[in-house]
């Protein structure tokens, strides 16, 4: 028995309790960060081009005002992280927060060329929201989002797809990324 224990044995229940407290503390730090990363990017911002938002119902620009309280917990459903031999990496998600739903793609462009990304959110009743985002030539992680829409039906009824190609539709499709995971994360 080591000298610092002063002859007492450590209670295994107390050890488990201390370990559980450490795990809970780590979750208390990590969960808000995960929820914050699933939260909103207000407006068009620096992450996307802010142009080309259209809805299939009336072909008019979609309203980009928040539909839900930004403090409400968000749930995300993402597909796998994909990469192309050309140098595009992306992961595409459906995000639901309160009564709002939208699509988000996380990407990195290592091609050295400016590209276009077309991000589509497909939902119930054949409703589609499409956003074209300018993808700069810099090799930095970025995001692109569709405007928020009022959620209609079950969250599982929504799918997001991002397609990356050369500017102006010139050249082949470089990468297609989708939110095809059945699992939602967040609360």
Per-residue pLDDT of the chain (187 residues; tens, 9 = 90+): 444 445 555 555 554 444 444 433 433 333 333 333 444 333 333 333 334 444 333 333 344 445 555 677 889 999 999 999 989 999 999 999 999 999 999 999 999 999 999 999 999 988 999 999 999 998 999 999 999 999 988 888 999 999 999 988 788 899 999 998 777 787 5
How do residues 120-152 score in pLDDT, each as one tens digit? 999 998 899 999 999 999 899 999 999 999 998
Retrieve residue 157's tokens. 């009824």
Retrieve residue 123's tokens. 């939902």
Using DSSP's 3-state secondary structure scheme, residue 186 falls into strand
Retrieve residue 66's tokens. 């928040």
Q: Would you say the C-alpha torsion 121, 76, 63, 116 has a positive or negative sign? A: negative
Domains of the chain (ranges plus CATH)? 41-181 (2.60.40)
Q: How far is CA 168 from the centre of its chain?
A: 25
Residues 6 or more apart whose CB falls under 8 angstroms from that of 69 comprise 98
Q: Measure the CA–CA gap between 120 and 3, rounded to whole angstroms.
A: 65
pTM score over 0.75: no
Query: What is the rounded (10 degree) CA torsion for 91, 96, 97, 100?
Result: 120
């Amino acid at each position: 028995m080591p000298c610092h224990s002063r002859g007492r044995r450590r209670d295994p229940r107390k050890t488990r309790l201390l370990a559980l407290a450490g795990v809970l503390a780590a979750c208390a730090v990590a969960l808000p960060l995960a929820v914050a990363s699933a939260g909103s990017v207000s407006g068009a911002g620096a992450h996307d081009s802010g142009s080309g938002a259209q809805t299939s119902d009336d072909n008019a620009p979609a309203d980009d005002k928040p539909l839900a309280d930004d403090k409400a917990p968000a749930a995300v459903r993402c597909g796998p992280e994909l990469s192309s031999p050309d140098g595009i990496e992306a992961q595409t998600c459906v995000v639901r927060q309160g009564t709002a739903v939208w699509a988000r793609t996380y990407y990195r462009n290592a091609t050295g060329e400016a590209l276009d990304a077309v991000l589509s959110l497909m939902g119930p009743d054949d409703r589609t929201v499409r956003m074209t985002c300018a993808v700069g030539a810099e090799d930095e992680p970025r995001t692109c989002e569709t405007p928020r829409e009022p959620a209609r039906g079950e969250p599982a009824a929504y799918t997001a797809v991002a397609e990356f190609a050369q500017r102006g539709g010139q050249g082949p499709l470089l990468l297609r990324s989708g939110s095809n995971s059945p699992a939602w994360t967040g609360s």
